[in-house]
Structure 1
Amino acid sequence: MTFGEKIKEARLAMNLSQTELAQLTGISERSLYTYEQLGTIPRKGNIRKLAEALHVSVAYLLDDQETNTQSHIDEDMFLAEAREQFGAKGAKEAQEVLGRVSSLFAGGDLDEDAKDVFFQALMAVYMDSKKNAKEKFTPKKYRKHKKLAQSEI
């Protein structure tokens, strides 16, 4: 997949028009057209702006071997959120987990039932962690208020 095809596919995956992407990035619509349709490679600054706006990595845009845009967009968004919430160390740990899970599915001998069990277990851990975090990090004054509001219903 070419640079232009990746830009277009990522833009469409985010339901953005060229006009909207131009507004997000500060890059002219004409330039976006040449990137997508003519395969022109922009300057480094514009590549960075596009990657940021489309929630993909610069490496992804420049690597001719990458072809799965949606999974790359999802992964980059997940890592950005992990970095925002937990810092660089949390993002690094999240990336390591993604790598291990990816390896498990790419080269592992898991059938569809085993994959379903894995995802159910992962979801249970996520929901449990979310509940524990809410109880641990929500200030008591808000927890009491919430309990009172629920008992009034």
Structure 2
Amino acid sequence: MTFGEKIKAARLAMNLSQTELAQMTGISERSLYTYEQLGTIPRKSNIRKLAEALNISVSYLLDDQESNTQIHREEDLFIAEAREKFGSKGAKEAQEVLGRVSSLFAGGDLDEEAKDVFFQALMSVYMDSKKNAREKFTPKKYRKHRKTE
């Protein structure tokens, strides 16, 4: 799938019109049309807005291969969980961590199962360290009190 096809498929899967997606992202309808129909690749900030609005990863949008869709789903879930627990800054940090770590495997000899185990461990460590940092460094009066965490 091309970039434009991925945008269109994700938009339709969420039952959104181009107008609705434009309103959600602040990107003009005309720009959305050029992304979907003409295959124009937007600037980085618009790619990020589209990924957030469509609940998909930036890496999925930019990856020409379809073979890693399960990995992308797991990454998307990880980023969504980071957003839920730590806000948009946490989600952005999680996405940056994944981007940096995935470059370690470029051209490597590890099989997919080993990579999956590594990413699962990384995601677990990230969530735990963010939670611990929140508890240690955020003054009690600013902490969100949650019953289940």
Question: What band does the TM-score fall into relative to the shorter chain?
Answer: 0.5 to 0.7
Contact 2:5 / 2:36 at 8 angstroms: preserved in 1? yes
Alpha-carbon distance, 1:80 to partner: 3.0
1:62 aligns with 2:62: yes
In our comparison, the structure showing a higher alpha carbon Rg is: 1
- Tell me how far apart the structure 1 counterparts of residues 70 and 17 of structure 2 sit (CA, whole Å): 17
Alpha-carbon distance, 1:71 to partner: 8.2
Paired position in structure 2 for 1:32: 32
Residues 50-73 of structure 1: CA distance to partner in whole angstroms, max 9, x if unpaired?
A: 111111111111111136769845
| Residue segments in structure 1 that go unaligned for 5+ positions in a row | 96-101, 107-136, 139-153
- Tell me how far apart the structure 2 counterparts of residues 17 and 74 of structure 1 sit (CA, whole Å): 26
Residues 26-74 of structure 1: CA distance to partner in whole angstroms, max 9, x if unpaired?
A: 0011110110011011111111111111111111111111367698457
Residues 119-149 of structure 1: CA distance to partner in whole angstroms, max 9, x if unpaired?
A: xxxxxxxxxxxxxxxxxx37xxxxxxxxxxx
Residues 79-98 of structure 1: CA distance to partner in whole angstroms, max 9, x if unpaired?
A: 2342145556xx79xx9xxx
1:82 aligns with 2:56: no
Q: In 2 relative to 1, CA 86–23 (structure 1 residues): closer, same or farther, beyond 3 Å?
A: closer
Corresponding residue pairs, total: 97
- Tell me how far apart the structure 2 counterparts of residues 85 and 32 of structure 1 sit (CA, whole Å): 27
1:6 aligns with 2:28: no
Contact 1:35 / 1:41 at 8 angstroms: preserved in 2? yes
- Tell me how far apart the structure 1 counterparts of residues 8 and 22 of structure 2 sit (CA, whole Å): 12
Q: Per the alignment, in what secondary structure is the counterpart of residue 16 of structure 1?
A: coil
Paired position in structure 2 for 1:128: none
Structure 1 or 2: more helix by fraction? 1
Q: In 2 relative to 1, CA 64–22 (structure 1 residues): closer, same or farther, beyond 3 Å?
A: same
Q: Determine what percentage of the aligned residue pairs are the same residue.
A: 71
Q: In 2 relative to 1, CA 84–26 (structure 1 residues): closer, same or farther, beyond 3 Å?
A: closer
Matches within 5 A, 1:101-140: 103=113, 137=147
| Residue segments in structure 2 that go unaligned for 5+ positions in a row | 99-111, 117-146
Q: In 2 relative to 1, CA 51–85 (structure 1 residues): closer, same or farther, beyond 3 Å?
A: closer
